[in-house]
Amino acid sequence: MAQHRNALGRGLGSLISMDDTPAKGSSAINDINLDRITPNPAQPRTTFDEEALEELAASIRELGIIQPLSLRKTGPDSYQIIAGERRYRAARMAGLTSVPAYIRTANDSELTEMALIENIQREDLNAIEIALTFKKLIDQYSLTQERLSERIGKKRATIANFLRLLRLPAEVQLGLRDKRLDMGHARALLSIDNPSIQLKIYKEIIRQGLSVRKVEELAKAYQQGELDKNTTAEKNDRQYASHDFDLLKKHLSNAFQTPVKFSCDKKGKGSITFSFSNEEDLARLITLFDTLKP
Protein backbone atom coordinates (compact mmCIF):
# COMPACT_ATOMS: atom_id res chain seq x y z
CA MET A 1 0.00 0.00 0.00
CA ALA A 2 2.83 2.39 0.92
CA GLN A 3 4.52 1.71 -2.38
CA HIS A 4 1.28 2.51 -4.25
CA ARG A 5 0.85 5.81 -2.41
CA ASN A 6 4.46 6.85 -3.04
CA ALA A 7 4.01 6.28 -6.75
CA LEU A 8 0.97 8.54 -6.76
CA GLY A 9 2.65 11.15 -4.61
CA ARG A 10 5.39 12.06 -7.07
CA GLY A 11 3.17 14.53 -8.91
CA LEU A 12 1.87 14.92 -12.43
CA GLY A 13 4.97 13.80 -14.26
CA SER A 14 4.89 10.32 -12.72
CA LEU A 15 1.21 9.86 -13.54
CA ILE A 16 1.10 10.80 -17.19
CA SER A 17 3.41 11.91 -19.95
CA MET A 18 2.43 14.79 -22.21
CA ASP A 19 5.03 14.10 -24.93
CA ASP A 20 5.82 11.15 -27.17
CA THR A 21 8.04 9.42 -24.61
CA PRO A 22 6.33 6.47 -22.89
CA ALA A 23 5.68 7.07 -19.22
CA LYS A 24 6.70 4.57 -16.56
CA GLY A 25 4.56 1.46 -16.84
CA SER A 26 3.98 1.99 -20.56
CA SER A 27 4.95 -0.25 -23.42
CA ALA A 28 6.40 0.93 -26.67
CA ILE A 29 3.93 2.40 -29.15
CA ASN A 30 1.48 -0.23 -30.37
CA ASP A 31 -0.97 -0.20 -33.27
CA ILE A 32 -4.35 -1.13 -31.73
CA ASN A 33 -7.51 -1.97 -33.66
CA LEU A 34 -10.27 0.55 -32.84
CA ASP A 35 -12.82 -2.24 -32.41
CA ARG A 36 -10.82 -3.58 -29.47
CA ILE A 37 -10.88 -0.22 -27.63
CA THR A 38 -13.65 0.99 -25.31
CA PRO A 39 -14.01 4.47 -23.77
CA ASN A 40 -13.38 5.05 -20.09
CA PRO A 41 -16.74 5.23 -18.24
CA ALA A 42 -15.02 7.39 -15.61
CA GLN A 43 -13.86 9.89 -18.24
CA PRO A 44 -14.06 13.35 -16.60
CA ARG A 45 -14.95 14.99 -19.90
CA THR A 46 -18.68 14.74 -20.56
CA THR A 47 -19.09 16.99 -23.60
CA PHE A 48 -17.38 16.73 -26.98
CA ASP A 49 -17.80 19.54 -29.48
CA GLU A 50 -18.88 17.95 -32.78
CA GLU A 51 -17.43 20.74 -34.93
CA ALA A 52 -14.08 20.46 -33.16
CA LEU A 53 -14.15 16.68 -33.62
CA GLU A 54 -14.78 17.15 -37.35
CA GLU A 55 -11.78 19.46 -37.56
CA LEU A 56 -9.61 16.97 -35.70
CA ALA A 57 -10.86 14.15 -37.94
CA ALA A 58 -9.90 16.19 -41.02
CA SER A 59 -6.43 16.74 -39.56
CA ILE A 60 -6.09 13.02 -38.80
CA ARG A 61 -7.04 12.12 -42.38
CA GLU A 62 -4.29 14.44 -43.59
CA LEU A 63 -1.53 13.88 -41.03
CA GLY A 64 -2.53 10.88 -38.95
CA ILE A 65 -2.54 10.77 -35.14
CA ILE A 66 0.53 12.60 -33.86
CA GLN A 67 0.04 11.94 -30.12
CA PRO A 68 -0.61 8.24 -29.29
CA LEU A 69 -3.49 7.31 -27.02
CA SER A 70 -2.87 5.85 -23.54
CA LEU A 71 -4.72 2.57 -22.93
CA ARG A 72 -4.90 -0.12 -20.27
CA LYS A 73 -5.40 -3.79 -20.99
CA THR A 74 -8.79 -5.12 -19.81
CA GLY A 75 -8.73 -8.58 -21.40
CA PRO A 76 -6.69 -10.88 -23.67
CA ASP A 77 -7.27 -8.59 -26.62
CA SER A 78 -9.29 -5.65 -25.28
CA TYR A 79 -8.32 -2.21 -24.05
CA GLN A 80 -9.81 0.79 -22.26
CA ILE A 81 -8.91 4.42 -22.84
CA ILE A 82 -6.92 6.19 -20.13
CA ALA A 83 -6.30 9.33 -22.17
CA GLY A 84 -7.22 10.23 -25.71
CA GLU A 85 -10.97 9.64 -26.12
CA ARG A 86 -11.26 12.73 -28.30
CA ARG A 87 -8.57 11.33 -30.63
CA TYR A 88 -10.33 7.95 -30.54
CA ARG A 89 -13.66 9.49 -31.60
CA ALA A 90 -12.04 11.60 -34.32
CA ALA A 91 -10.13 8.57 -35.63
CA ARG A 92 -13.41 6.71 -36.06
CA MET A 93 -14.89 9.72 -37.87
CA ALA A 94 -11.82 9.83 -40.10
CA GLY A 95 -12.34 6.18 -41.08
CA LEU A 96 -9.25 4.76 -39.39
CA THR A 97 -9.29 1.12 -38.31
CA SER A 98 -6.43 1.35 -35.80
CA VAL A 99 -4.59 3.94 -33.72
CA PRO A 100 -1.13 4.23 -32.16
CA ALA A 101 -1.21 3.76 -28.39
CA TYR A 102 0.82 3.17 -25.26
CA ILE A 103 -0.38 0.28 -23.11
CA ARG A 104 -0.16 1.20 -19.45
CA THR A 105 -0.78 -0.55 -16.18
CA ALA A 106 -3.41 1.24 -14.07
CA ASN A 107 -6.04 0.32 -11.49
CA ASP A 108 -9.46 2.02 -11.37
CA SER A 109 -8.26 4.82 -9.06
CA GLU A 110 -5.23 5.59 -11.20
CA LEU A 111 -7.37 5.41 -14.34
CA THR A 112 -9.63 8.23 -13.11
CA GLU A 113 -6.70 10.30 -11.85
CA MET A 114 -4.74 9.93 -15.07
CA ALA A 115 -7.73 10.87 -17.21
CA LEU A 116 -8.39 13.91 -15.02
CA ILE A 117 -4.80 15.12 -15.08
CA GLU A 118 -4.37 14.61 -18.82
CA ASN A 119 -7.47 16.71 -19.51
CA ILE A 120 -6.52 19.43 -17.00
CA GLN A 121 -3.02 19.73 -18.45
CA ARG A 122 -4.51 20.13 -21.90
CA GLU A 123 -7.17 22.54 -20.52
CA ASP A 124 -9.85 20.33 -22.08
CA LEU A 125 -12.22 20.20 -19.10
CA ASN A 126 -14.72 22.82 -18.06
CA ALA A 127 -14.95 23.86 -14.40
CA ILE A 128 -17.96 21.66 -13.58
CA GLU A 129 -16.37 18.55 -15.11
CA ILE A 130 -13.30 19.16 -12.95
CA ALA A 131 -15.43 19.71 -9.84
CA LEU A 132 -17.44 16.52 -10.43
CA THR A 133 -14.30 14.45 -10.94
CA PHE A 134 -12.72 15.83 -7.77
CA LYS A 135 -15.89 14.88 -5.89
CA LYS A 136 -15.91 11.41 -7.41
CA LEU A 137 -12.30 10.77 -6.41
CA ILE A 138 -12.96 12.00 -2.87
CA ASP A 139 -16.16 9.99 -2.43
CA GLN A 140 -15.14 6.81 -4.21
CA TYR A 141 -11.71 6.46 -2.61
CA SER A 142 -12.42 8.13 0.76
CA LEU A 143 -9.85 10.85 0.20
CA THR A 144 -9.52 14.11 2.06
CA GLN A 145 -9.02 17.28 0.05
CA GLU A 146 -5.46 17.39 1.39
CA ARG A 147 -4.75 13.84 0.21
CA LEU A 148 -6.27 14.51 -3.20
CA SER A 149 -4.11 17.62 -3.43
CA GLU A 150 -1.00 15.50 -2.89
CA ARG A 151 -2.07 12.87 -5.41
CA ILE A 152 -2.88 15.15 -8.34
CA GLY A 153 -0.50 18.04 -7.68
CA LYS A 154 -3.14 20.72 -7.18
CA LYS A 155 -3.35 23.11 -4.22
CA ARG A 156 -5.96 22.21 -1.63
CA ALA A 157 -7.54 25.68 -1.99
CA THR A 158 -7.94 25.09 -5.73
CA ILE A 159 -9.72 21.79 -5.10
CA ALA A 160 -11.98 23.41 -2.48
CA ASN A 161 -12.89 26.25 -4.85
CA PHE A 162 -13.90 23.81 -7.59
CA LEU A 163 -15.98 21.70 -5.18
CA ARG A 164 -17.85 24.81 -4.01
CA LEU A 165 -19.17 25.24 -7.58
CA LEU A 166 -21.37 22.18 -7.02
CA ARG A 167 -23.38 24.21 -4.48
CA LEU A 168 -24.67 26.50 -7.22
CA PRO A 169 -28.14 25.90 -8.72
CA ALA A 170 -28.17 23.33 -11.52
CA GLU A 171 -28.96 25.96 -14.18
CA VAL A 172 -25.95 28.02 -13.12
CA GLN A 173 -23.73 24.92 -13.21
CA LEU A 174 -24.90 24.22 -16.76
CA GLY A 175 -24.07 27.81 -17.72
CA LEU A 176 -20.59 27.40 -16.27
CA ARG A 177 -20.18 24.09 -18.07
CA ASP A 178 -21.19 25.71 -21.35
CA LYS A 179 -18.91 28.70 -20.62
CA ARG A 180 -21.76 31.21 -20.60
CA LEU A 181 -20.14 32.67 -17.49
CA ASP A 182 -16.69 32.27 -16.01
CA MET A 183 -15.15 31.36 -12.67
CA GLY A 184 -15.10 35.00 -11.56
CA HIS A 185 -18.88 35.23 -11.94
CA ALA A 186 -19.30 31.89 -10.16
CA ARG A 187 -17.14 32.94 -7.19
CA ALA A 188 -19.19 36.13 -6.82
CA LEU A 189 -22.45 34.15 -6.92
CA LEU A 190 -21.13 31.75 -4.28
CA SER A 191 -20.86 34.65 -1.82
CA ILE A 192 -24.70 34.80 -1.94
CA ASP A 193 -26.40 32.21 0.26
CA ASN A 194 -29.80 32.42 -1.46
CA PRO A 195 -30.20 30.11 -4.51
CA SER A 196 -33.11 32.13 -5.92
CA ILE A 197 -30.99 35.30 -5.88
CA GLN A 198 -28.06 33.39 -7.41
CA LEU A 199 -30.33 32.21 -10.22
CA LYS A 200 -31.88 35.65 -10.72
CA ILE A 201 -28.47 37.30 -11.05
CA TYR A 202 -27.24 34.49 -13.30
CA LYS A 203 -30.10 35.22 -15.72
CA GLU A 204 -29.12 38.90 -15.71
CA ILE A 205 -25.49 37.93 -16.43
CA ILE A 206 -26.70 36.10 -19.54
CA ARG A 207 -29.23 38.75 -20.57
CA GLN A 208 -27.14 41.85 -19.95
CA GLY A 209 -23.60 40.49 -20.15
CA LEU A 210 -22.81 41.70 -16.62
CA SER A 211 -19.14 41.95 -15.78
CA VAL A 212 -17.58 40.09 -12.86
CA ARG A 213 -17.18 43.40 -11.06
CA LYS A 214 -20.88 44.19 -11.42
CA VAL A 215 -21.83 40.76 -10.07
CA GLU A 216 -19.48 41.34 -7.13
CA GLU A 217 -21.29 44.64 -6.48
CA LEU A 218 -24.65 42.88 -6.58
CA ALA A 219 -23.39 40.22 -4.18
CA LYS A 220 -22.15 42.91 -1.82
CA ALA A 221 -25.51 44.68 -2.05
CA TYR A 222 -27.26 41.45 -1.09
CA GLN A 223 -24.92 40.89 1.87
CA GLN A 224 -25.67 44.42 3.07
CA GLY A 225 -29.41 43.85 2.78
CA GLU A 226 -29.81 46.14 -0.25
CA LEU A 227 -30.88 43.36 -2.61
CA ASP A 228 -33.88 41.20 -1.71
CA LYS A 229 -35.58 38.35 -3.55
CA ASN A 230 -38.00 40.76 -5.23
CA THR A 231 -35.24 42.99 -6.59
CA THR A 232 -33.91 42.15 -10.02
CA ALA A 233 -30.31 42.63 -10.97
CA GLU A 234 -31.47 45.06 -13.66
CA LYS A 235 -33.23 47.23 -11.08
CA ASN A 236 -30.26 47.11 -8.76
CA ASP A 237 -27.98 47.91 -11.68
CA ARG A 238 -30.02 51.06 -12.32
CA GLN A 239 -29.74 51.89 -8.62
CA TYR A 240 -25.97 51.64 -8.82
CA ALA A 241 -25.94 53.75 -11.98
CA SER A 242 -28.10 56.33 -10.24
CA HIS A 243 -25.74 56.37 -7.29
CA ASP A 244 -22.77 56.86 -9.63
CA PHE A 245 -24.60 59.68 -11.41
CA ASP A 246 -25.39 61.35 -8.09
CA LEU A 247 -21.71 61.36 -7.16
CA LEU A 248 -20.69 62.74 -10.55
CA LYS A 249 -23.51 65.29 -10.43
CA LYS A 250 -22.33 66.49 -7.03
CA HIS A 251 -18.74 66.71 -8.23
CA LEU A 252 -19.63 68.70 -11.36
CA SER A 253 -22.04 70.96 -9.48
CA ASN A 254 -19.29 71.83 -7.01
CA ALA A 255 -16.70 72.32 -9.73
CA PHE A 256 -18.89 74.62 -11.88
CA GLN A 257 -20.92 76.13 -9.03
CA THR A 258 -24.22 75.45 -10.78
CA PRO A 259 -26.91 72.71 -10.74
CA VAL A 260 -26.15 69.78 -13.06
CA LYS A 261 -28.72 67.26 -14.33
CA PHE A 262 -28.33 63.82 -15.93
CA SER A 263 -30.70 61.85 -18.13
CA CYS A 264 -29.99 58.30 -19.27
CA ASP A 265 -32.02 55.64 -21.08
CA LYS A 266 -31.80 51.84 -20.74
CA LYS A 267 -29.16 51.63 -23.46
CA GLY A 268 -26.86 54.01 -21.57
CA LYS A 269 -27.40 57.00 -23.85
CA GLY A 270 -28.12 60.34 -22.24
CA SER A 271 -27.19 63.94 -21.67
CA ILE A 272 -25.68 66.25 -19.05
CA THR A 273 -27.32 69.66 -18.51
CA PHE A 274 -25.67 72.64 -16.85
CA SER A 275 -28.04 75.31 -15.53
CA PHE A 276 -27.33 79.06 -15.55
CA SER A 277 -29.37 81.86 -14.02
CA ASN A 278 -28.48 84.76 -16.37
CA GLU A 279 -26.16 85.86 -19.16
CA GLU A 280 -23.33 86.58 -16.74
CA ASP A 281 -23.64 83.10 -15.30
CA LEU A 282 -23.59 81.66 -18.82
CA ALA A 283 -20.48 83.67 -19.66
CA ARG A 284 -18.83 82.32 -16.49
CA LEU A 285 -19.58 78.74 -17.51
CA ILE A 286 -18.28 79.33 -21.03
CA THR A 287 -15.06 80.71 -19.59
CA LEU A 288 -14.72 77.62 -17.40
CA PHE A 289 -15.34 75.33 -20.37
CA ASP A 290 -12.73 77.23 -22.39
CA THR A 291 -10.12 76.52 -19.72
CA LEU A 292 -10.77 72.77 -20.23
CA LYS A 293 -9.77 72.86 -23.91
CA PRO A 294 -6.56 70.90 -24.63
Instruction: Give the catalytic positions in this structure.
Output: 85
Do the beta carbons of residue 79 and residue 37 sit within 8 Å? yes
Q: What is the DSSP letter of 24?
A: T
Cβ neighbours of residue 233 under 8 Å, at least 6 residues apart?
A: 200, 201, 203, 204, 205, 208, 210, 218
In whole angstroms, give the CA distance from residue 83 to residue 79: 12
Q: In this structure, what are the phi and psi dihedrals at residue 194, rounded to the nearest 5 degrees?
A: -115, 110
In whole angstroms, give the CA distance from residue 291 to residue 287: 6
In whole angstroms, give the CA distance from residue 256 to residue 275: 10
Pairing of strands 260-264, 30-33: unpaired
